[in-house]
Structure 1
Amino acid sequence: MIPIKPVTSGATTKSTSTPAEAAAAFLRPGTLHLTALPPLSLYVHFPWCVRKCPYCDFNSHEARDGFPEKEYLDALRTDLEAALPLIWGRKIYTIFIGGGTPSLMSAAGLDRLLSDIRTLLPLDGRAEITMEANPGTFEMEKFRSYRASGINRLSIGIQSFNPHHLQALGRIHDGDEARRAVDIAHAAFDNFNLDLMYALPSQTLDEAAQDVATAIGFAPPHLSLYHLTLEPNTYFAKYPPTVPDDDLSAEMQDMIQDRTAAAGYGHYEVSAYAQAGRQARHNLNYWQFGDYLGIGAGAHSKLSFPHRIIRQMRYKQPKAYLENTVKGSPVQEEFEIERGELGFEFMLNALRLNDGFEVNLFAERTGMAINAIGQALDQAERKGLLYRDHRIIRPTELGRRFLNDLQQMFLRE
């Protein structure tokens, strides 16, 4: 963390208070008092993909006739330049390039993007720089170029090694391409994540176990294992496939716990498993209520200042984002998180961590005393959903099983 200084908020708001008024605001009841800013990450969104998957609710758009790479890279730089007054003097500790399918970018395009970022932002010497990639877009030389440009971690969207399940999920790769992608990742990177899903349409327990065994056989430093959910406004929500029932899904989850633990992976977050020291630093910053600046179509930001915390969202449609960025206004929405919502927002993230969080982190990241959520903490502890002592707060095994119920207890009291 770094000591906080007054920060101009850019085009959306401007401070005109005198020193006396600023002091009065500091003492006003209900005002936040952050004594230090949290770590800052950068998220870059690439909105295009080859084909929209039927389960996907991310901001992704099929690139049927290609995509305007140069114009988009120009816009990303303009977007970042416009956001600089919000983060003057702050170092970037992690970068995540997500999508969509960022690995559709040319090697030269990715190199330009990272060069622009380095030119405009101070990066920590150990910055974790992750790019999402799909197996259907893997080429050895291209990924070697990505590595040479500065990408030091890949997150590969495998989802399954089973050709029937890949077809049901609408993926553009098959099982052999998935295995080849992991081989390329091993050759070019020493840090990567494999994304898999379970409880897939018509999937059996044995089939789920085979996917997990295949993934573990590659010894990836990190595994993300997600339960398929039928999200609103997706093809699967409109035409629901037959998926495993709750009992079978629970058996799959138990199998995953057993197999990953036996292979030496620590289960540190709801869907995340890592070898020792290989946790995803970018995602940990989210879960610990750190700050992040998001640039690109539909990207979200959460930024802290001495007495307030704001959220932003960029224009979602690529065309609207490009047009508005040229006009100097890429941000479609900006609002301050109300004091009464901060406790819930913090706990919504931090309770995803199996080991929980240190008590003083709440005050550091929200600017409020822990007793601001005291009533909900007491209630959760009485119900056996939460463990706490003078140092740590974490969900119990029961709390992890009923995490949504536990999180909702921290909605505004």
Structure 2
Amino acid sequence: MGSGSPAIAANGVLKPPPLSLYIHIPWCARKCPYCDFNSHTRHGPIQELAYVDALLQDLRGEQKLVAGRPLQTIFIGGGTPSLFSAQSIEGLLSGVAEVMALDEALEITLEANPGALESERLPGYREAGINRLSLGIQSLNPDSLQALGRIHGPDEAVMAVERAKQAGFERINLDLMFGLPAQTLEMAQGDLQAAIGLGPSHLSYYQLTLEPNTPFYQSPPDLPDEERLWQIQQQGHEMLLRAGFQQYEISAFSHPQEQCRHNLNYWRFGDYIGIGAGAHGKLSTQDGVIRRRWKRRHPNDYLAAAKGGVPFLQGERVLQAEDLVIEFMMNALRLCDGVEAELFSATTGLDLEYMGEPLNGAIKKGLLYPVDGRLCPTPLGLRFLNDLIAMFEVNRTT
């Protein structure tokens, strides 16, 4: 396969996709045994002001690559971003507004843990401009929370949701896991029903997986078998649908019009700037090339780069045509309704015929709908998503 490039408008200038900003705050109070994110346990006070200054310095360098394009969404993730004070978050967002053009309907999400200290900060986060809150409750069962190494209890999770609503947050996401250590079907149903009862507008319901380089991977806990996992997942999905939620992504459910716009931009192969320790970005530039870029991973190295005036960038890679095929499909096929087929060409610059053989093979196996105008997984395709995605990786170069 040869190299590919993003779609070029009739005047020869790249027509880029929507643009988002991901901000990574890498510290947490204690690293959970299942977590493989770039997060680091806090030891002593965090250098909040220095880190915010570094983030904005990093952003100014990235801004040169996006030519005044407005941000559609901002997502502050981690780690535990709610370890930062409301004043620091406000300073960060004010700095972003000075550097970047912002869409009028800008969505700004903050990830937060439901601890007592974080809950007290929620009104300040809302005043700072956060308009979507994602709370990592993971479970409302005390035994499950303890098994997961979480430092909050069920009462703190309930209190966090109540305080978020009191602070004026209308868009609240809850992260909830299933397939937890020693979890029965009844336990999972009770967990999910309790989460639904808190009245979130969005619920991320996903299976605990054992990731390499985590304590759980080295010493696996007693997890439900495949049959029980399937029962938990299927009955959980039915509970969510009965409660008025719509499944729009393999592990994401929302009330109508309450989807996470930031994640939708990922899944629709949009562009995003990544700033912060270990943050990744994907940018389509006017030279007709799509690049992935990533920053220095350790927070100490990232802060040292800011002080020393050296690049935050750790590396970048230009995506070739075979990369574009698999990366587009591994995102788009997570969406239950798929995407418009024309989006493939619009974001990669490649004709749909470019992946004709695996595309036809997936349709013949019943993993993709044979519908003109859309790339859409069937229920079977969603169930065996990894197998479906792998079909588009066969010709990828290493």
TM bucket normalised to smaller = over 0.9
**Which residue number corresponds to residue 12 of structure 2?**
none
> Which ranges of structure 2 fall in alignment gaps of 5 or more residues?
9-14
Superposed displacement of residue 325, structure 1: 3.0
Q: Could you tell me which of 271, 293, 313 is aligned with 2:294? A: 313
After superposition, what is the alpha-carbon deviation per residue over 1:106-127, rounded to whole angstroms, capped at 9, x for unaligned? 1111110011001111110111
For 2:11, the equivalent position in structure 1 comes to: none
Do residues 34 (structure 1) and 7 (structure 2) align? yes
Supply the distance in 1 between the matched residues of 2:129 and 2:34 (Cα, whole angstroms): 31
**Mapping for residues 137-148 of structure 1, pairs under 5 Å:** 137-139=116-118, 141-148=120-127
| Aligned: 1:238 with 2:238 | no
Of 376, 388, 393, 1:406 maps to: 388
Structure 2: distance between partners of 1:200 and 1:112:
38
**How many aligned positions are there?**
385
1:248 aligns with 2:228: yes
Which residue of structure 1 aligns with residue 35 of structure 2?
56
The equivalent position to 2:90 in structure 1, one of 101, 105, 111, is 111
State the Cα deviation string for residues 198-224 of structure 1 (Å, max 9, x = none).
000001111110111011112210000
Amino acid at match of 2:221: P
Task: Give distance in 2, aligned partners of 1:33 and 1:319.
Answer: 36
Q: Are the equivalent residues in 2 in contact too, given 1:324–1:330 (CA < 8 A)? A: yes
Corresponding residue for 2:238?
258
- Counterparts of residues 72-111 of structure 1 (less than 5 Å): 72-111=51-90
Partners of 2:291 and 2:4 in 1: CA distance: 14
Contact 1:103–1:134 (8 Å) recurs in 2: yes
Cα deviation for residue 388 of structure 1 reads 2.9
> Structure 1 residue 141: deviation in Å?
4.8
Gapped regions of structure 1 (runs ≥ 5): 1-28
- Secondary structure of the 1:325 match is helix
Q: Shift in Å at residue 33 of structure 1?
A: 4.7
Counterpart of 2:377 in structure 1 is 395
SS at match of 1:387: coil
In structure 2, relative to structure 1, the CA distance for the partners of 1:135 and 1:385 (3 Å cut) is same
- Structure 1 runs (4+) greater than 4 angstroms displaced: 137-141
For each residue in 1:85-121, what CA deviation from the matched residue of structure 2 results, as whole angstroms up to 9, or x when unmatched?
Answer: 1112100000000000000101111110011001111
Cα distance in 2 for partners of 1:291, 1:401 equals 28
Q: Distance in 2 between matches of 1:175 and 1:142?
A: 19
Return the offset for 1:143. Answer: 1.1
Q: Provide the TM-score with structure 1 as the length reference.
A: 0.91
Q: Secondary structure in 2 aligned to 1:224?
A: strand
CA distance in 2, matches of 1:264, 1:141: 30
For residues 374 and 118 of structure 2, the distance between their equivalents in structure 1, rounded to whole angstroms, comes to: 45
User: Structure 1 residue 293: deviation in Å?
Assistant: 0.3
Match of 1:324 in 2: 305
What is the alpha-carbon root mean square deviation over aligned residues? 1.2
Distance 1:84 1:208 in 2: 45
Matched, 1:334 2:316: yes
Q: Secondary structure at the match of 2:281?
A: strand
Q: Deviations over 1:181-201 (max 9, x none)?
A: 111112220111000000000
**1:174 to 2:147 alignment:** no
What residue identity is the alignment partner of 2:194?
A: T
Q: Do the aligned partners of 2:60 and 2:99 also contact (CA within 8 Å) in 1?
A: yes
Deviations 1:327-379 (A, max 9, x none): 23001011101112111110000000010111101001111110111111000
C-alpha contact (below 8 Å) 2:123/2:164 kept by paired residues: no
Question: Could you tell me how far 1:137 is from its partner in structure 2?
Answer: 4.8
Contact 1:39 1:290 in 2 (8 A): yes
Tell me how far apart the structure 2 counterparts of residues 352 and 315 of structure 1 sit (CA, whole Å): 29
Please give the residue correspondences for 1:119-130 in structure 2 after superposition, counting only pairs within 5 Å.
Answer: 119-130=98-109
1:57 deviates by 0.3
The one-letter code matched in structure 1 to 2:339 is: F
Aligned partner of residue 115 in structure 2, secondary structure: helix
